[in-house]
Each structure stands twice: as C-alpha cells, then as structure tokens.
Amino acid sequence: MSDLFKQYPDLSHYYETSDGTPFYKEETAQTYAKTLNDKRIKAVYREDIIDEEGPKTETAKEIIAKLPDMDLETAQDYLTAEESLETPRTTVVAAIQKRIAELQAK
C-alpha cells in the first residue's frame, strides 16, 4: 500500500504528478505539473492500491483452495506477491511452487 495511505489512514485518494510527487488537491498538482516536461497527473485511489495487493490480503487457506484452478501466470503472480511480503508464509510458498511445477510439467 502507498506510504501516503499508511501515513494518512482516512485519505481516500491523492493526485500524483509524472515525477511521482503527491498532492492532496488536484489544482495544486496541476500547478506543479506546469513546471515539468511531462505535465500529466493521475488520481491514485486507496481502493486501487488495495485491489493491486489482493493476493497479499487473502488467508493462506483461501490461496491454497484456489490453487487447483490457477493457470501458470496467476500462480506465478501469487508467488511473487507472497515472496514480497515481509514474512512470506512458507506453507503458501510451498503450495504455489508445487502448483507451478505441476503446470510446467504439462
């Protein structure tokens, strides 16, 4: 999750300029963006960040239950997400690695 959302738990969204600078107000971001070569800004919503981190928030039991239906790409995405955790769950990592091996053997 974005550090800004961790720092401000009630923040629902913010605006980010092309150089990655965050702003609370769109107008402020637009004013700052005028000084940049790439003048685009984007809105970053808390829900978007949470959706991107979906595999990290699921329980080990939920992930393992999904494994039989996972394709190779999805399993690899889940493995990457799990391994990026501060403390990866060894049972989940082992189960995903086993599923990947099964899919690669086909």
* HEC profile of 1-68: CCHHHHHCCCCCEEEEECCCCEECCHHHHHHHHCCCCCCCEEEEEHHHHHHHCHHHHCCHHHHHHHHH
Residue 82 vs residue 52, higher pLDDT: 82
- pLDDT on residue 57: 64
> Which of 25-29, 35-39, 45-49 has the lowest average pLDDT?
45-49
Q: Where are the domains of the chain?
A: 3-50, 55-105
What's residue 49's pLDDT? 57
The predicted structure's pLDDT at residue 13: 86
